[in-house]
Amino acid sequence: MKAALFDLDGLLIDSEPLWEEAEISVFDRYGMTLTPAICQKMKGFRVDESIRYVLKLFGVDKPVDPLQIEREILAQVKQLINIKGRGMPGFVYIIHFFKSRGLKIALASSSKLEIINEALNKLGVIQHFDAICSAENEPYGKPHPGIFLSAARALDVEPDECIVFEDSLNGIIAAKAARMKAVLVPDKTLTGDLRIAIADLELKSLLGFKEEHIRRLTEER
């Protein structure tokens, strides 16, 4: 293995509740009441994909501007990250784990670059990444593998030389479609979901990843 690719929201920073708060607040202004279950369904989507999903779900019959909704959501998420954003357990540990071993690391997120930069600066780790990739530059978001394949190219490594760390089912599907090893630190809402068995490794937190796991994942190639 030569590289580790990391999701952002819900894996390195506890921002999923912030996205949910922003989405519920903004869509409520437009007369659409989101439930936590709807927000969970959109986990791993790009913000534009989430907006299209909600508008289709509610069958909106009056003119709305998806770009304006997107601007409002992004502005609120950035504000919430600054106020409430905090790192997930082990986010510093896992970055040091790979950097200290000479492996390259990349951030591969469905979020827009402005959100990625806001979050990584909040955590104080932006300087440690060899590449930062946003699905806003891809034709499709997760579960399409495009974002992970782009990250591998940015690091100049082959897909099967990468380990992906994810917290969502859509992210794990994307990683496996990219022919990469997939490590899942599952969101609590995935408890009991049999579909997560497609991950190569499941951990309770990033702190649980050890040297033996690299050996195991390498031997399974």
The model's pLDDT over 39-84, given as tens digits with 9 standing for 90+, comes to 888 887 889 999 999 999 998 767 789 999 999 999 999 999 999 9
Looking at the predicted structure, is the pLDDT value of residue 221 above 80? Answer: no
Distance, in Å, from the CA atom of 202 to the CA atom of 183, rounded to the nearest integer, reads 6
As a CATH number, domain 3-15+86-219 is 3.40.50.1000
Determine the pLDDT at residue 63: 79
The one catalytic residue among 9, 167, 187, 200: 9
- pLDDT tens column, 130-146: 999 999 989 998 999 99
Domain 16-84 bears CATH identifier 1.10.150: yes
- Is 28 part of the annotated catalytic residue set? no
Task: Report residue 128's pLDDT band, with 50, 70 and 90 as the boundaries.
Answer: very high
Query: Domain residue spans in the chain?
Result: 3-15+86-219, 16-84
Q: What is the mean pLDDT of residues 93-115?
A: 96
Residue 165's DSSP bridge partners are 6, 183
pLDDT of 142-184, one tens digit each?
999 999 999 999 999 999 999 999 999 999 999 999 999 999 9
Tell me, yes or no, if the two domains 3-15+86-219 and 16-84 fold the same way.
no
Output the DSSP codes for the chain.
--EEEE--BTTTB--HHHHHHHHHHHHHHTT----HHHHHHTTT--HHHHHHHHHHHHT--S---HHHHHHHHHHHHHHHHHHH--BPTTHHHHHHHHHTTT-EEEEEESS-HHHHHHHHHHHT-GGG-SEEEEGGGSSS-TTSTHHHHHHHHHHT--GGGEEEEESSHHHHHHHHHTT-EEEE---GGGTT-GGGGGSSEE-SSGGG--HHHHHHHHHT-
Q: What is the pLDDT of residues 11-48, one digit of tens each?
A: 999 998 999 999 999 999 999 999 988 988 888 788 99
Distance CA 67, CA 70 (A): 5
pTM of the model: 0.88
Residues 6+ apart with CB under 8 A from 121: none
Q: What is the mean pLDDT of residues 82-92?
A: 95
End-to-end CA distance of the chain: 9
Known active-site residue 65:
no
